[in-house]
Structure 1
């Protein structure tokens, strides 16, 4: 990233572990180091304005759009 003059936005960088509940229970990732930043997993992420959760369901996105 630094070679291409790119930086992470600490306030917007997030990740999720995607899979079935059984698959996710086998994975134990508490954080990922990216340069000087440690990123912890969340239960949902927003990408291009779309909210997706760890089951790849769009329930949170639909609720947000319906509320608006």
Structure 2
């Protein structure tokens, strides 16, 4: 139960911060730039998580092995 509560708090904090950034970008007229940077960063992080072989070849077993866990 604690895990669910902590996850909810984390998500609310994340979305509140992201919405503040979005409101600021809209107010300053730079929302298109914000959106482009957001998606660029998201895609970079996803590519890092997928690894060089891409998402099709990534499995839970290979993920754990990379972390040194059986």
Report the TM-score when normalising by structure 2.
0.28
Larger Rg: 2
Q: Which has the higher contact order (CA 8 A, sep 6+)?
A: 1
Instruction: Report the TM-score when normalising by structure 1.
Output: 0.29
- Structure 1 or 2: more helix by fraction: 2
* Structure that is richer in strand per residue: 1
